[in-house]
Structure 1
Amino acid sequence: MNSERREIILNEIEYWRTSRLLPEQYCDFLENLYQEQAAQAARRTFSINSIQQGSLKTWLLGFGIISLIFFIGFYFSLFPWPLQMAIALLVTSICYSFSAVFRPRRKAAALLTASGGSVILLVLGAWTLWLQDWLSPGGIAGLVGVCGLIWWLAGYFLNLGILNYCGFVCFILLYGVMFGKIHPDASWPMMQLFWLPLSVVMVWLCWLAHHRIKRMAPVFFAVGITVWFMPEADMLLMRHSSVHGMVLLCLLKIVVAFILLFVLRKKWIVWVFK
């Protein structure tokens, strides 16, 4: 089967999935079948001869990309900070663009390129802060906020839940830092009052997304579970403090979460997985 015909079939399968003309598991089976055939064909066609017969344009393009990467790596510290930020955003945008191209047919490749772009944004952003001597709490908070916003938007438009979740995690960190500045000596009960209502809101958004934006429901649910354990994580990791019997309190919250998930399993499983 040639590549053009295979691409047409994969696009048709994706149309069946979005239109719900076939069950999700059938679409996954057909998509995996044709992608496996494509991978086998690629392995058969990849050889030393195919590299030797490559066009001059392809070789020049590859050489240019590799040279550009090394040029940026060597001279990044000499660029003015606006150019450093522009380079970070440009490289990240290129990775996200490749991810958008890969997303309909090659989900693993799309996730890999999007993750690479996200890591590049964080690393180059931190490098810029260090080079410009901006490693202050405000500078770090700004970097976390920018990364969180870009990751959230990229995850939403690329339909990559893990990237969307990472964006929410950045917002959660900023939320915790802000509360730490306002109430640095907050007690354990106060921490519960500060975080647990947010967990309830996230689970409610999961229910709402199930009826409006179904693909966002698992993300909201995962964020809600994460926020459920944030009071203890906030005290141990961000405030470097603890209360007597912290281990027992953590176990108690795990038991409560398990009971709630078990009792409400017929509801949240539908929200997240159907």
Structure 2
Amino acid sequence: MNVEKRDIILKEIQYWRRTKLLTEQYCDFLTNLYSDEGAVPNRNPITLQNLQQGNIKIWMFAFGIISLILLIGFYFSVFPWGLQLATAVSLLVVCYGYAGLLRNRMPVIGLSLAGIGSFLTLGFGLWMIFLHNLEDGLSIPIFVGVCGLLWIILGFTLRIGLLHFGGYGALCLLYAGFAGRVRPEAGVWELQLLWLPLCVLMIWLSWLLYHRVKGVSGVYFGVGTLLWLMPEIDSLLLRRDYPAWLSLLLIGKIAAELTLLFLFRKKWIAWVAT
């Protein structure tokens, strides 16, 4: 059989295995049937079957990882500043590095590691800021901006949509805080001017990337649909003096957005599906 066709079949079998369309035993049989060397290409060591069989390596590995995280958590505050930074960066490199390596072979584990890496990024960064009494200045906004850019770059490079979306979410929070400090008296219509051009920009980028780069247009479309509602969310959460009819405007914009999504569903579903 042609090598390319065999690889496609093996990938389909792995998809059936992950989605539970076929049993593990039947997937093993099919992979043995289509594999040159008869080896099962499912290299995922963390399965319910392996756990049930009591694979000592998996249990010892889990014990070592949990113990390492707890030790770092207990003694992180007494580390010197340089060692704190090196420890945090090392853990992030390991998490994101393995997330990139495993995102195709073991998607669940890859996404889990990306989520753990993002959680550790926030946790260690904020911890270090408060440990060194830097929270009064611009440290937290700068840190949020760095996290957002990091997640955008990694999400785009690794094609991890949730990570990519989270990066833009962090930048939106930073933008909202900056706008709140610069224009605390901004009214409802001024907020529309602050947010809606960004909404149009993200939707346009979604269309552009759909024709040029596969796998990321859905993220930009999701960010654009969120930005459509951000003026009202900004008013409700970050500003005290907002008109009583703001909730009606929010409901109207939600209705308008759902109507547009329905009318153009064949277009944007194709973007999201890629």
* TM-score between both structures, scaled by the size of structure 1: 0.80
**Does 1:12 pair with 2:2?**
no
Aligned length: 250
- Where does 1:142-153 land on structure 2 (aligned, <5 Å)? 142-153=142-153
Partners of 1:238 and 1:85 lie apart in 2 by: 32
Aligned counterpart, 1:224: 224
Listed as ranges, the matches of 1:1-274 within 5 Å are: 12-13=7-8, 29-35=12-18, 37=24, 38=42, 42-46=47-51, 50-51=55-56, 65-136=65-136, 138-274=138-274
Per residue, is there more helix in 1 or in 2?
A: 1
**Deviation for aligned residue 1:171:** 1.0
Give the distance between the partners of 2:13 and 2:4, measured in 1 at CA.
Answer: 9
Distance, in Å, in 2 between the alignment partners of 1:47 and 1:264 is 48
For residues 5 and 110 of structure 2, the distance between their equivalents in structure 1, rounded to whole angstroms, comes to 16
- 1:10–1:34 Cα contact (<8 Å) kept: no
Q: Gapped runs of 5+ residues in structure 1? A: 1-7, 17-26
Query: What SS does the corresponding residue of 1:184 show, helix, strand or coil?
Result: coil
Identify the residue that residue 23 of structure 1 maps to in structure 2.
Answer: none
Shift of 1:10: 11
- DSSP-derived class of the 2:133 partner: coil
Once residues 220 and 77 of structure 2 are traced to their aligned partners in structure 1, the CA distance between those partners, rounded to angstroms, is 39
Provide the alpha-carbon RMSD of the alignment.
3.0
Aligned residue identity for 2:269: I
2:7 corresponds to which letter in structure 1?
E
8 A Cα contact 1:206 1:272, kept in partner: no
**In the aligned structure 2, how far is the partner of 1:142 from the partner of 1:256?**
35
- 222-231 vs 85-94, which deviates more? 85-94
**In structure 2, distance between residues paired with 1:44 and 1:123:** 33
Q: CA 1:122 to 1:256, structure 2 compared with 1: closer, same or farther past 3 Å?
A: same
* Cα distance between partner residues in 2 of 1:207 and 1:69: 42
The offset of 1:46, in angstroms, is 4.2
Provide the TM-score with structure 2 as the length reference: 0.80
Deviations 1:182-234 (A, max 9, x none): 21100101100110111011000000010111211000000001111110111
Identical residues among aligned pairs (%): 38
